[in-house]
Amino acid sequence: MTQYFEVVDRDGPARLGELRITPPVTTPATVDDVLEDYGSLWTDEHATPEEDDVGGVAVLPHRAMPSGTPEEILEAMQETHGDVDLDVATAAVTSVDAPEASGHDMHVLTGLREGDSRRVVEAALDCRRSLAPDSALYLPGVAAPANVATLAYLGFDCFDSDYAAVHGRGGSYMTTDGEVAVEKLDELPCCCTVCRDSSPDDLSPEEVAEHNVFALEAELSRVRSKIADGRLRDYVEGQCRSERWQVEVLRLLDEEETYLERRTPVARTTEMDCNVSESMDRIEVQRFAERVIERYTAPRSDACVLLPCSAGKPYSLSRSHSEFREAIAGRAHEVIVTSPLAVVPRGLENVYPAAHYDVPVTGRWTPTEQEFVEDVLTRYLELNRYEDVYVHLPEDYRPFVESACSSADVEPSFTCRDDEHPRDDEALERLRTSLDGLQTSGRQRERRWYARAVADHQFGEDSWDSLDDLRIQGQMPRIRVMQDDRQLAALTEYGSLALTLEGVEAFEPPDVEIEPFVPEGSVLAPGVVDADDSIRVADEVLFEGEECRGVGRAEMGGREMRDSSRGVAVSVRHLDDSV
């Protein structure tokens, strides 16, 4: 089991970790100064590191193979020293062609080079699937200021400055935008201690190398901050454009939906910027659309109004949607059509990421946006058969909305003329009169629909159906789900339901089996016996053992809970130790 490395935060595949040596190292980071290399040996005889001799991480001896060694021999000869019993932090050298699980704190990966997009992605996926989730991945000889954010997003934790330093001594000056021969610069685009009072002609090869290392360390600091804020994906979508192979990495990784979905939180409060075409492929976007189709059922079937999104989130707090809601007056179901989320029923407007995204608005939809939104809207209208569909959308929505309605065999009524804005008085009056004669929903009924939509989105379709006599207290969106005098759940700031112990019985969240102990504040991974594979970060979970049961928020995915030897698995909200 790992003893000296712990993952303390996650942002998709990226991790914020702590290498617990003296002094501790927060990863992603360079680890040049903390490794003690015990060499590459051709025999089984090697010196065992003593605790007093190791200042950081002991890289254990391994069998080195000459360049060009056949792959089958590499696999047969590779050693990872799986169960070396040492009271020091240890690292095993691991071929990316045959990663093998061990109890070491770090794995030093061999066989990768900068720029090979497909192989880098395959290596990251293979290692993360095969190696312990709480072991650090060290990728040597590759990191540069321009690529380390992308490498960290793939899941690599540790790097060195070799690539940056060697290229610097060769005259390559590095920034987050790439590298350029120093003699081609008219001025230095940096104010580090090397560059502050210098010109390109002043720098020696050693000073260029020193600058490159400074730039790499600065970028790693920025990456750590982005992971802590839950914004690394946003940053990588822009940063990867400095090099073609990094764009390839992002697109190839997005094809691995299962890998990403297991590692992406189901909820958070961080805003999600969707500024580029790759944003459409984000797991948060795809997961939301899938759950709308697979789990959501419209609360009424008589009438639906398709509305545009708003810059303000949640939509109902914006001025435009206040006017729309006043005109509709609870007489029809409201569905927002938007990029990149496609379809957001009113009851899900507070659910992550519907209340936490922003997108450039130009009045022109890209072909990718149109195709995705049209597909999801078609499927939604096929599954939720309304008697009447009213389209209260601007002119630029019309081509793909008409196509979606046609595909779903729906004849819509348009309440906005081509030259009108949905907020124009004439358009609002037309919407208002179109709904004359329809029954209003009523405040309590609307709040109940709202809570049911969130419950089904969170726990699965029809999670609400077996519950009787539920009441909704409070004002939207700060509502509580009650049964008799018992509170079952309350809506959180990121739009999902936080359960009580009574709510666990009602909604049946995924469960975690723990050792016979009573946790204080959190359930740690070593105390987890088993965990449901469906658990994702930020899910509501039931944990129970021989001495207690409780409910809390998952801080790891289910597999990571089972396989990790360190770290917080569940943050405890309610605990019952009277079982």
CATH number at residue 487: 3.10.450.90
Return the pLDDT at 78: 44
Residues 477 and 375 in one domain: no
* CB distance 516 to 567 below 8 Å: no
Q: Which of 505, 521, 545 is the last residue of a domain?
A: 505
Residue 466, burial from CB neighbour count under 10 angstroms (0-12, 13-18, 19+): exposed
Mark whether 423 and 546 lie in a shared domain: no
pLDDT in the model for residue 54: 56
Confirm whether 384 is domain-assigned. yes
CA distance 193 to 190: 9
With beta carbons less than 8 A apart as the criterion, state whether 120 and 112 touch: yes
At 74 the pLDDT is 45
Does residue 9 sit within a domain? yes
pLDDT given at position 47: 55
Verify that 46 and 9 share a domain, yes or no. yes
DSSP structural state of residue 97: T
Whether residue 518 sits in one domain with residue 425? no
DSSP 40: B
pLDDT for res 62: 59
Whether residue 180 is contained in a domain is answered as no
Q: Report the number of distinct structural domains present in the chain.
A: 4
Q: Domain of residue 309: give its range.
A: 272-434
Residues 250 and 118 in one domain: yes
102-115 burial, b at 16+ Cβ within 10 Å, e below that, comes to bbbbbbbbbebebe
CATH code of the domain covering residue 429:
3.40.50.10630
Residue at 189 is within a domain:
no
Residues 399 and 497 in one domain: no
Instruction: Please state, in angstroms and rounded to a whole number, the distance separating the CA atoms of residues 531 and 545.
Output: 12
Let me know whether 325 and 289 are in one domain: yes
C-beta atoms surrounding 204 within 10 Å: 11
Among the three residues 401, 434, 467, which one is the final residue of a domain in this structure?
434
Cα of first residue to Cα of last residue in the chain, in angstroms, is 31
Strands of 84-171, DSSP E: 89-95, 106-110, 136-138, 158-159
* pLDDT for the residue numbered 114: 80
Confirm whether 176 is domain-assigned.
Answer: no
- Residues 417 and 481 placed together within one structural domain of the fold: no
Question: Does residue 191 lie in a domain region?
Answer: no
| Same domain, residue pair 571 and 455 | no
DSSP state at residue 534: T
Provide CB contacts within 8 A for 448, sequence distance 6+. 470, 472
Last-in-domain residue among 479, 505, 531? 505
Say if residue 277 is in the same domain as residue 326.
yes
Residue 263 counted as domain residue: no
pLDDT of residue 91: 87
- Determine the length of the chain: 579
Query: Reduced to 3 DSSP states, what percent helix, strand and coil does the chain have, rounded to the nearest 5?
Result: 35, 20, 40
| Residues facing residue 108 across a β-bridge | 93, 138
Which CATH number fits the domain that encloses residue 548? 2.30.130.10
Other CB atoms within 10 Å distance of the CB of residue 256: 15
**For residue 228, what is the domain's CATH number?**
3.20.20.105
CA-to-CA separations, 569 to 254, 390, 524, 575, in angstroms, rounded: 26, 47, 5, 15
All residue ranges of the chain with pLDDT < 70 are 1, 38-55, 61-86, 465-468
Integer Cα distance of 201 and 191 in angstroms: 16
User: What pLDDT was estimated at residue 467?
Assistant: 66
- Asked if 288 and 405 sit in the same domain, the reply is yes
Residue 327 placed within a domain: yes
- Looking at the fold, whether 163 and 284 belong to one and the same domain comes out as no
Tokens coding 84: 């070396």
pLDDT at 350: 93
